[in-house]
Amino acid sequence: MNHRAAPLPQQLSLRCLSCREEYTATDAGTCKECYEEASETEDELKSEIDDLKAKVAFLRLGSSPLDSHKRSSALGFSDVVLVASDEFHSNPVSLLAHKAVLASRSPVFKAMLEIEMEESRSGTINISDVSYDALRAFVNYLYTAEASLDEQLACDLLVLAEKYEVKYLKTYCEKFLVSKLNGQNSIASYSFAHQHNANHLVESSLSMIIEDMANLTKSEEYVHLVDKDPKLVVQIYETYMSKQVNTAARID
């Protein structure tokens, strides 16, 4: 005959309604009511996401799966030409687009096209220092809010977004570049971000640099930045020192 002691309350075994595993009182999460409410909330949020995705698909211009450089021209009825010129193309390359779309996405295009400027008279907008691929991705983004970024393209698009004041695209590129920050690219990113007023990227790259101050002077990018823009290097040291002082103050 077995005399087993009643379980201690803490050892009482419960079964989780979500993962179906057993757990003890110390690992308890929620009551049943909250679990059910949370499940409902999750379903509602997922359904809202589906609705929003459908709305995005509807609002994209030229929603058929076209090669991006064909999209704006395939929409038809274009009334403006964008011409890309960079150092690599002796012959400028061009893209068809729509004034109403460009003006709706960018206050700079809007001003160019509405005011009696060269662009509105000729129906041609020249965009300098940009590769055809970057311009194509830029225009495609204005029509669809989509881009397959890599680090180079994110930088190119950030520059265009800054120049033409497409805030939403700038934020998108900045977030991407922040997600790609590492010990190797933090100084270059910091310098690039400063140049293009990407404050979120400035702060994130600066934090990353400061985490590894001991190795700062060993990198080539550092030497290059001292040469090119010493004031930015001074800011690194100043930020580092102010954090040291704050930490010291907390310890005291």
Which residues bind to its own copies, rule: CB under 8 A? 6-7, 9, 12, 14-19, 21, 23, 25, 27-36, 38, 41-42, 45-46, 48-49, 52-63, 75-79, 98-101, 103-105, 110, 113-114, 144-145, 168
Minimum CB distance to its own copies, residue 161 (Å): 12
Smallest CA-to-CA distance from 147 within 166, 126, 169, 132 is with: 169
Contacts of 39 (CB under 8 A, 6+ apart): none
Least distance in angstroms from the C-beta of 50 to its own copies: 10
Residue with smaller CB distance to its own copies, 36 or 150: 36
Residues 165, 153: Cα–Cα separation, whole Å: 17
**CB 238 → its own copies: shortest distance, Å?**
33
Q: Give the position of tokens 């096209």.
A: 113
Strands 93-97 and 80-85: antiparallel
Give least dist CB 56 to its own copies, A: 5
16 burial (CB, 10 Å; 0-12 / 13-18 / 19+) is middle
Report the residue number, 77 or 88, with the smaller CB distance to its own copies.
77
Which residues 6+ apart lie within 8 Å of 218 measured at CB? none
The C-alpha R_g of the chain, in whole angstroms, comes to 27
Q: What is the DSSP string of 197-248?
A: T-HHHHHHHHHHHHHTGGGGGGSHHHHHHHHH-HHHHHHHHHHHHHHHHHHH
Q: What is the nearest approach in angstroms of its own copies to the Cβ of residue 148?
A: 16
Residue (145 or 232) nearer to its own copies, CB: 145
Beta carbon nearer to its own copies, 8 or 214:
8
Which one, 34 or 245, has the nearer CB to its own copies? 34
Strand partners, 83: 94, 126
Q: Name the residue nearer to its own copies (CB basis): 111 or 232.
A: 111
Shortest distance in whole angstroms from residue 244 CB to its own copies: 33
